[in-house]
C-alpha cells in the first residue's frame, strides 16, 4: 500500500506531457567523447577539456553568485525577475526549461546540482534568429524534436546513419545532425551579447557585454570566428568519438579558452566548497593555457621614442590590441593598464606609474581609492599618481559611478583597446568609445599611443624605461563593492578574493628601452 501511494504521488507530480526539448547531462556525452588522442599523442578529450572550462562552471562561479545576490538585494521587489534574467546564460538548462513551463527560473535553489553551459545546450541551439537582437541575452531557440528518439544535436560533421544510431541509443534519443551554424560566431553571440535593463524608477538600458558587435565592426569578421580563437583547431586528423570514431580534419578543442585565469584558480582552490567536478590538474592546465593565450596573442607593447632633455625624460609608448574585439571585453569588471618604471644607472627607481598592490588595487587609481571617482583617459602622463587604465566605467541615472549592473544606464568612460579595423567614428552607440579617448587622435584601431614626461630629479643616465601591460579579470573596486552586502554569497566571494588578491593580475606584454 505504501509503495502504491508513493507511485501515485510520483505520477501526480509528473507533468502530463513531458517538457520538450530535454537537455542531457554532459556525463552521458563523456563516455564516447573522452579518450581522444591525436597521432602525436596529445589528449584532446572533449569532456575533460570542457569540465575545466568557465563554461562548465558558470553556475558554480562564486563571483556570479555574489553579483546576483547583490542585484536582488538592491531591487528586492523584482528579485524573481532578476534571478530569471541572470540564469539565462549561467544556468541555461534551468532557465530554458522554466521558460517552457511559463515561470521564472530560480537561481539559488538549483545551484548545488547543475553544471553550467552543457554539451546539449550549445549543440541543440538552432539557427533560428541567430545574429539578431531576438537571440541575445540567452534567448536562443532549440528545435522541438520530431519524437522522443529524435532530439537533433548539431555538429559540424556529417555522421553516418549507423553511427547516428549508436549515439541516439546511448544518449536516450539525441541524434547527431550536421549543421554549419555550429561554427559561426552568431551562435556564441546568443549568450555573449547582453543588454541589461536598469531596474530603478528611471529605467534605461545598458549594452553590458558586446564582444560580438565589437568583432563585427573589426577586420576579424572576415578572418576568424569566435570559435577559431576560443576553441583552437586540432591541426591533425583526430577522431571525434572514441567509439567507432573516424579520423577527421577540423576538430576543435573544447577548452573555451578566454581571459579569466583568476576564476579558474579560485575554482581550483575552493573546489570542495563550490562542488567543482574537474580535477585539480585539469583546472591547472586550463589556467595555464589561459595565461599562455593572454601573453602570446592579446597585445603588443612598444617604446617608440625616448629622449632626455633639460632634466626630463620623454617617452612614447604604444599598445596594440591583437584580439578580435575590445581588450578587455565583455564583463565590465575587467581592466588592463600600463605599469611604467624608469630607473637610473644605479637601478634606482626615479619614476613609477601603475604599480599593483597586494590587495589587487592599483597605485594612483582614483577609483580604487574612492568608489565615487575614476581615473581619466590620458594622452600624456607627467606624475606618478596618474595611470593609464583601459576599462569601462559605468554610470547610474544621476551620472555617478556604479558597479551595479541593474543600476547602470551607460558609460562615463570606455577606452578599452580597439581591435584592428574598428573605426571609432562610425561605431554604433552600443560599442562606442566614451570619455577623453573619443577625442584622442592617438587612440584608434591600430593602438593607443601615450606620452610620458618624467622629471628625473638629478638622476644620472643611462636610464632604463620599462613598460608593462597588466590585465585583471576582476578589478579591486568591483570585488570590494560587494563587501557591504550582508549575505552569504558576497561574503564568501570577497573572502576568496582577499585570500588570492596577490594573484588577481598578470603581465600580458612588456618592453624595455635604454637612453
- pLDDT, tens digit, for every residue of 208-250? 999 999 999 999 999 999 999 999 999 999 999 888 788 899 9
Q: What is the reported pLDDT for 13?
A: 38
Q: What is the reported pLDDT for 8?
A: 36
Backbone φ and ψ of 327, nearest 5°: -130, 125
Partners of residue 195 on adjacent β-strands:
207
Q: Look at residue 11 and tell me whether its pLDDT is greater than 50.
A: no
Q: Look at residue 472 and tell me whether its pLDDT is greater than 80.
A: yes
Q: What is the reported pLDDT for 26?
A: 86
Residue 362 pLDDT level (bands cut at 50, 70, 90): very high
- Share the mean pLDDT of the chain: 92
Percent pLDDT > 70 in the chain is: 96
Helix (H) or strand (E) segment spanning residue 72: helix 62-74
Q: What is the reported pLDDT for 333?
A: 98
Q: pLDDT: is 460 or 326 the higher one?
A: 326
**Burial state string for 439-457 with b = 16 or more CB within 10 A and e = fewer than 16:** ebeebbbebbbbbbebebe
How many residues in total does the chain contain?
A: 515
Per DSSP, 497 falls in state: H
Q: Look at residue 16 and tell me whether its pLDDT is greater than 60.
A: no
Q: How far apart are CA 138 and CA 420, in angstroms?
A: 28
> For residue range 30-80, what is the model confidence (pLDDT) as tens digits?
888 999 999 899 999 999 999 999 999 999 999 999 999 999 999 999 999
Q: Look at residue 110 and tell me whether its pLDDT is greater than 80.
A: no
If DSSP codes are grouped into helix, strand and coil, which group holds residue 400?
Answer: coil
Structure pTM?
0.94
> For residue range 475-503, what is the model confidence (pLDDT) as tens digits?
999 999 999 999 999 999 999 999 999 99
The secondary structure of 1-47 as a DSSP string is -HHHHHHHHHHHHS-SS--SS----THHHHHHHSS-B-TTS-B--HH
Q: How far apart are CA 427 and CA 437, in angstroms?
A: 14
Query: Which stretch of 199-208, 352-361, 365-374, 406-415 has the lowest confidence by average pLDDT?
Result: 199-208
Q: Look at residue 7 and tell me whether its pLDDT is greater than 50.
A: no
Q: What is the reported pLDDT for 20?
A: 52
Q: What is the reported pLDDT for 174?
A: 86
Q: Look at residue 285 and tell me whether its pLDDT is greater than 50.
A: yes
> For residue range 130-166, what is the model confidence (pLDDT) as tens digits?
999 999 999 999 988 877 777 889 999 988 887 887 7
> For residue range 296-316, what is the model confidence (pLDDT) as tens digits?
999 999 999 999 998 999 999
Q: How far apart are CA 454 and CA 468, in angstroms?
A: 17
Q: Which residue has the cell 549561467?
A: 90
Residue 182 pLDDT level (bands cut at 50, 70, 90): very high
Residue 170 pLDDT level (bands cut at 50, 70, 90): confident
Residue 113 pLDDT level (bands cut at 50, 70, 90): low
Q: 424-428 long-range contacts, Cβ below 8 Å, gap at least 24?
A: 426/217, 427/217, 428/213, 428/217
Amino acid at each position: 500500500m505504501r509503495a502504491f501511494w508513493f507511485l501515485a504521488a510520483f505520477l501526480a507530480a509528473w507533468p502530463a506531457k513531458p517538457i520538450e526539448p530535454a537537455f542531457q547531462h554532459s556525463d552521458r556525452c563523456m563516455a564516447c567523447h573522452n579518450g581522444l588522442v591525436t597521432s602525436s599523442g596529445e589528449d584532446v578529450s572533449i569532456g575533460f577539456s570542457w569540465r575545466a572550462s568557465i563554461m562548465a562552471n558558470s553556475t558554480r562561479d562564486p563571483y556570479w553568485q555574489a553579483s546576483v545576490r547583490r542585484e536582488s538585494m538592491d531591487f528586492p521587489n523584482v528579485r524573481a525577475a532578476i534571478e530569471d534574467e541572470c540564469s539565462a546564460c549561467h544556468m541555461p538548462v534551468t532557465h530554458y526549461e522554466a521558460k517552457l513551463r511559463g515561470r521564472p527560473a530560480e537561481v539559488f535553489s538549483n545551484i548545488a546540482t547543475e553544471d553550467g553551459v552543457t554539451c546539449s545546450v550549445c549543440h541543440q541551439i538552432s539557427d533560428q534568429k541567430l545574429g539578431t537582437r531576438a537571440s541575445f541575452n540567452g534567448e536562443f531557440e532549440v528545435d522541438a524534436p520530431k519524437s522522443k528518439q529524435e532530439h537533433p544535436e548539431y555538429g559540424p560533421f556529417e555522421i553516418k546513419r549507423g553511427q547516428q544510431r549508436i549515439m541516439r541509443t546511448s544518449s536516450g534519443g539525441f541524434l547527431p545532425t550536421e549543421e554549419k551554424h555550429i561554427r559561426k560566431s552568431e551562435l556564441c553571440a546568443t549568450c555573449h551579447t547582453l543588454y541589461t535593463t536598469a531596474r530603478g524608477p528611471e529605467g534605461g538600458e545598458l549594452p553590458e557585454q558586446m564582444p560580438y558587435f565589437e568583432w563585427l565592426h573589426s577586420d576579424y569578421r572576415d578572418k576568424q570566428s569566435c570559435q577559431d580563437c576560443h576553441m583552437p583547431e586540432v591541426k591533425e586528423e583526430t577522431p571525434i568519438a572514441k567509439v567507432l570514431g573516424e579520423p577527421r580534419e577540423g576538430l576543435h578543442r573544447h577548452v573555451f579558452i578566454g581571459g579569466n585565469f583568476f576564476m579558474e584558480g579560485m575554482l581550483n582552490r575552493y573546489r570542495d566548497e563550490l562542488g567543482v567536478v574537474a580535477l585539480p590538474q585539469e583546472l591547472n592546465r586550463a589556467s595555464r593555457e589561459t595565461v599562455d593565450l593572454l601573453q602570446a596573442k592579446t597585445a603588443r607593447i612598444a617604446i617608440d621614442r625616448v629622449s632626455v632633455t633639460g632634466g626630463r625624460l620623454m617617452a612614447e609608448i604604444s599598445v596594440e590590441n591583437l584580439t578580435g574585439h575590445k581588450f578587455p571585453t565583455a564583463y565590465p569588471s575587467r581592466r588592463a593598464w600600463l605599469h611604467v618604471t624608469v630607473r637610473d644607472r644605479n637601478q634606482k627607481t626615479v619614476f613609477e606609474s601603475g604599480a599593483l598592490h597586494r590587495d589587487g588595487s592599483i597605485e594612483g587609481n582614483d577609483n580604487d581609492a574612492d568608489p565615487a571617482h575614476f581615473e581619466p583617459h590620458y594622452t600624456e602622463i607627467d606624475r606618478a599618481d596618474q595611470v593609464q587604465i583601459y576599462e569601462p566605467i559605468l554610470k547610474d541615472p544621476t551620472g555617478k559611478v556604479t558597479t551595479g549592473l541593474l543600476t547602470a544606464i551607460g558609460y562615463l568612460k570606455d577606452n578599452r583597446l580597439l581591435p584592428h579595423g574598428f573605426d571609432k567614428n562610425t561605431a554604433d552607440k552600443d560599442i562606442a568609445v566614451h570619455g577623453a579617448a573619443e577625442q584622442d587622435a592617438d587612440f584608434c584601431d591600430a593602438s593607443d599611443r601615450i606620452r610620458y614626461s618624467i622629471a628625473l630629479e638629478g638622476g644620472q643616465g643611462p636610464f632604463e624605461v620599462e613598460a608593462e601591460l597588466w590585465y585583471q579579470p576582476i578589478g579591486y573596486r568591483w570585488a570590494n563593492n560587494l563587501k557591504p552586502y550582508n549575505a552569504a554569497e558576497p561574503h564568501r566571494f570577497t573572502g576568496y578574493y582577499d585570500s588570492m588578491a596577490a594573484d588577481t593580475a598578470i603581465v600580458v606584454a612588456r618592453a624595455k628601452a635604454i637612453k
